[in-house]
Structure 1
Amino acid sequence: MKKLIFFLLLLLAGFNLMAQQDGGTYRAQLPEITMDSTSSLHIISPEPIRYVDISSHAVAGDLPEENVLRLKWVPDSTGNLSSGADNLGVVTVIGQTFIAQYQLLSAAATPGSKLAASYDILPQHIRPLHLPVEISTPQLRSHALSLLARRNPSAIRTAKQYGISAELNHVYTLGDLILLDITYHNSTNLGYDIDELRFKIEDKKITKATNVQSVEIRPIWQLYPIGSFKRSYRNIYVLKKATFPASKILSVELSEKQISGRTIILKIKYRDILEADNF
């Protein structure tokens, strides 16, 4: 009798272990989002969206912004919906560090005032992903804002031309990333409309007899978008780690939209990057 009881306990423990190892996420467990056919639904992600899957052809989606998913019923599909709530499938959203899934429901008979126009992806709705991401956008933003909050010492590098001055305030490294804190000042009465900002590795000294070798580097992220400024403009730029010899410099070229077309170049030495602080 004792052997039988022991065997039953072992069998029960085995079933419990199998149940605990079930890694499935079932549709009945997914949070629900109800849509109607009269307006779009916007799903807002806390970080840029990398991938979206919509399991039903009844719903179309696009990304008007990097962290916003817009969903709408396909017009031909709405005629087949009955009154009440119908299953429109599952939408899967993958960000830089998470995956979130929702069950989409149609509600032809639900008053529009009771339906959400936008839906935030909440922490309790996400599962972490171990993707090869050096650092997420929210983390970059946090570090960039912390740089802006710090007291400015004397500028590391400066440049001045046409009444526009450029200052390199800080250089920080974060893993394989380089963060540049740059401020521009306008001492003229003419506002500055930024055309573009270019980062290039160039020869330190250029003569007519030499061939100029220039390699452009594009920032992978910046805190604020390019715009215009009347008196001052400060921004944080993030570059991938790059190495270059002492005979080269990192050139930061700010150019203005025509007709004025004022251009100023800030030259950063490799030593400035080697001596950078880190987070």
Structure 2
Amino acid sequence: MIFFLSLLLPGFNLIAQQDAGTYRAQLPEITMDSTSSLHIISPEPIRYVDISSHAVAGDLPEENVLRLKWVPDSTANHPLVGDNLGIITLIGQTFIAQYQLLSATATPSDKLAASYDILPQHIRPLHLPVEISTPELRSHSLNLLARRNPPIRKAKQYGISVELNHVYTLGDVILLDITYHNSTNLGFDIDELRFKIEDKKITKATNVQSVEIRPIWQLYPTGSFKRSYRNIYVLKKATFPASKILNVELSEKQISGRTVTLKIRYRDILEADSF
């Protein structure tokens, strides 16, 4: 028994000696000065930022861009230790990244980076309750745009035709590939695009039941189009009875105010392909 325990004890000591910490000396360094902003670019939307020093201010001009500005006046009340500006922590949808910020007191300005990309070797994965990351959605959406199949559903009103090209499921979301064509000489300025679950047959206007579903993501921003407009819309997976239908309603800004509605049956979603 003593011999057996002596074999196990070195293993226990090894486990006890394992260090789960990430130390400041191990962090990659970013150098900045007080004359210009520094932009840190993330591969996915930034969900959380912590800046440990009052000498640096930050904001998010875009969801995946962090803008930093060194505020030298703040050092009067919060003196710096050497050229250390503190630690910055960024959390994306699937990762955490940390950097040591340094002040460029002796570095020529032309040697300083104006922007900094978060590299794969600088991140650690996080097991957050995020079903699908934005880069994954973008990759699958671009994959859909490369495909050419006969449309599943069609509709046409006021010279504007709409086609449902594909329906795909990915995890707990649905991807809708929709194309609009304008056969008129009047450009279409999009006011809004609405997704609503409604009754197939409407007998009385007072009995209409409508539930609106908002896309959680789309490939391209909403704008205007002269001839055609194609986009990928991502919805949270939803179920509705056969007596209901998913209406996709595209409306135009006034004064013209044209509207075209595409009706998607629940069967179209049930028969959707998956990635």
Shorter-chain TM band: over 0.9
Candidates 3, 6, 16, aligned match of 1:18: 16
In the alignment, what sits opposite 2:29?
32
Going from structure 1 to structure 2, the CA distance change for 1:83 and 1:94 (only over 3 Å counts) comes to closer
Q: Which residue of 1 aligns with 2:115?
A: 118
Task: Give the TM-score, by structure 2 length.
Answer: 0.92
Report if the CA contact (8 A) 1:156-1:170 is conserved: yes
Aligned-residue CA RMSD in angstroms? Answer: 2.3
Does 1:271 pair with 2:267? yes
Equivalent of residue 202 in structure 2, options 185, 197, 206: 206
Distance in 1, matches of 2:91 and 2:239, equals 33
Structure 2 spans left out of the alignment, 5+ residues: none
- Report % sequence identity: 85
Cα shift at 1:155: 1.3
| Pair 1:192-2:201 in alignment | no
Q: Structure 2 residue aligned with 1:105, among 102, 107, 112?
A: 102
Unaligned runs of 5+ in 1: none
Q: Deviations over 1:170-191 (max 9, x none)?
A: 1111111111000000001111
1:171 correspondence with 2:157: no
Displacement after TM superposition at 1:10 (Å):
8.3
Normalised TM-score (structure 1): 0.91
The 1:12/1:155 distance shift into structure 2, 3 A limit, reads closer
SS in 1 for 2:207: coil
1:59 equivalent among 27, 47, 56: 56
Per the alignment, residue 251 of structure 1 pairs with 247
The partner residue of 1:235 within 225, 231, 235 is: 231
1:215 aligns with 2:207: no
Distance in structure 2 (CA, Å) of the matches to 1:271 and 1:10: 60
**CA, structure 1 residues 115+82, in 2 after alignment: closer, same or farther (shift >3 Å)?**
farther
In structure 2, do the counterparts of structure 1 residues 211 and 87 end up closer, same or farther at CA, with 3 Å as the change threshold? Answer: same
1:33–1:103 CA contact under 8 A, matched in 2: yes
Number of aligned pairs? 272
Deviation at 1:116, TM superposition (A): 0.8
Whether the 8 Å contact between 1:83 and 1:109 is mirrored in structure 2 is no
**Equivalent position of 2:147 in the other structure:** 150
